[in-house]
Amino acid sequence: MKTGISGCFLALAMSVFSAPSFAQSPPGLNLQNRAKLQKQTQTQSYSFVVAGDNRDGDAILLNIFKRAQPFQPRFMLHSGDFVPEGRKQEYLNFLKLLKQAPFPVLPAIGNHEIYHQGRRWYTAFFGPSDFVMDYGPDRFVWLDNAEKRLTQTQLNWVNQVLSVKKRYKFVVMHHPPQNIFWFYAFNEGSEALIKIVEKHKVNYVFMGHIHIYDKMESEGVKWLISGGAGAPLYRMPLYFSPEGGAYPHFVLLQVGPKGIKEKLIRLDK
């Protein structure tokens, strides 16, 4: 079922804040994984998984690693909120969890990562919070909207990096844009982002923050929330749409020359 998304988003003002310098950010685990993945040569057909919001429920994240392994994904996109309160020890604990993953995990930054000056630990351990990975003929873009906004600098940047001709384009960020279902979301810069991803024919935007699975489609862009990796689930009807639900899960994406296949894997079945 397709649900129009453009008409649901609230009007908003463009951000006037300045984004951090992308070029001067130190390297980290995301960039290390990007370098390893970009050395792979068999990239015309591959699979990857999407999940997010494992804070307070790391056992479910470990189960996701186990359940996803038979599909042989090349990597996992994490939609953010992987630590409870942004403290250094929590980051170190998460890094230990990642050592048990049978594939590289590349997390976006969420609002829980920036509590208690946690942004500096994200930068120290993972690198820039806005970055790009080209995997074979496809492009993946990470966006930092952990503070519930996208700045004009970020919007200019993402417009530029998405303008490059690629087979498929994917964006991963934490907060979904606000609409009648996703009101626990972000406003500032969301309307401009929607126009950018539609203009550049992005295939998927992956998000978290709301602890459910949900998906909407507008102008060919699929907006997919995967927030069921271990954090307390939102079982309130107001957080549901016709395609959504509150259950632990991950999403498998199988990519090839003939298109993209999507499979929802529920862990409660």
- The whole-number pLDDT of residue 4 equals 52
Mean pLDDT lowest among 71-80, 117-126, 140-149, 181-190: 181-190
How is residue 69 written in tokens?
Answer: 């392994």
Question: Over the stretch 218-264, which tens digit does the pLDDT of each residue have?
Answer: 999 999 999 999 999 987 766 666 778 899 999 999 999 999 999 99
Quickly state the pLDDT bin for 24 (edges 50, 70, 90).
very low
For the four alpha carbons of 233, 235, 238 and 243, in that order, the dihedral sign comes to positive
Query: What pLDDT is recorded for position 22?
Result: 36
Q: Which of 114, 90, 94 has its CA nearest to residue 106?
A: 94
What share of the chain has pLDDT > 90, as a percent? 79
What H or E segment, with its residue span, contains residue 266? strand 259-266
Q: Write down the pLDDT at residue 240.
A: 65
- And the tokens for 65? 């690693």
Averaged confidence pLDDT in the chain = 89
Q: Which of 27, 37, 32, 34 is nearest to 127 (CA)?
A: 27
Q: What pLDDT is stored for residue 185 in this prediction? A: 79
Contact 227, 211 (CB under 8 A): yes
Looking at residue 107, what is its pLDDT?
A: 98
* pLDDT tier at 269, thresholds 50, 70, 90: confident
Dist CA 215 CA 206 (whole Å): 9
Q: In the chain, what percentage of residues exceed pLDDT 70? A: 88
Q: In the prediction, which pLDDT does 256 show?
A: 98
| Contact assessment for residue 86 and residue 115, using Cβ atoms and an 8 Å cutoff | yes
Number of separate helices (H) and strands (E) present in the chain? 6, 11
The CA-based angle 205-75-254, given to 5 degrees, is 65
Least confident of 82-96, 152-166, 182-196: 182-196
- What crossing angle do the helices spanning 119-126 and 29-38 adopt, rounded to 10°? 30
Dihedral pair phi/psi, residue 123, rounded to 5°: -60, -40
Yes or no: say if 121 and 109 are a contact pair by the CB < 8 Å rule: no
Q: Which amino acid is at 44?
A: Q
Residue ranges and CATH numbers for the domains of the chain are: 47-266 (3.60.21.10)
Give the end-to-end CA distance of the chain in Å, rounded to a whole number: 23
Residue 7 has pLDDT above 80, yes or no: no
DSSP character at residue 180: S
2 has pLDDT over 50:
no
Global pTM reads 0.88
DSSP 39: T
Residues contacting residue 217 through CB under 8 Å, at least 6 positions apart: 2, 3, 5, 223
pLDDT digits over 34-88, tens only?
999 999 999 999 999 999 999 989 999 999 999 999 999 999 999 999 999 999 9
Q: How confident is the model at residue 18 (pLDDT cuts 50, 70, 90)?
A: very low
Task: In whole angstroms, give the CA distance from residue 238 to residue 261.
Answer: 28
Residue 21 has pLDDT above 80, yes or no: no
What's the pLDDT tens digit per position in 153-164? Answer: 999 999 999 999
Residue 175 in contact with residue 145, Cβ under 8 Å?
yes
Residues 208-229: tens digit of each pLDDT: 999 999 999 999 999 999 999 9
Tell me the backbone φ, ψ of residue 260, rounded to 5 degrees.
Answer: -120, 125
Phi, psi of 75 (to 5 degrees): -165, 175
Quick check: 210 and 179 in contact, CB under 8 A?
no
Place of tokens 């609409």: 179
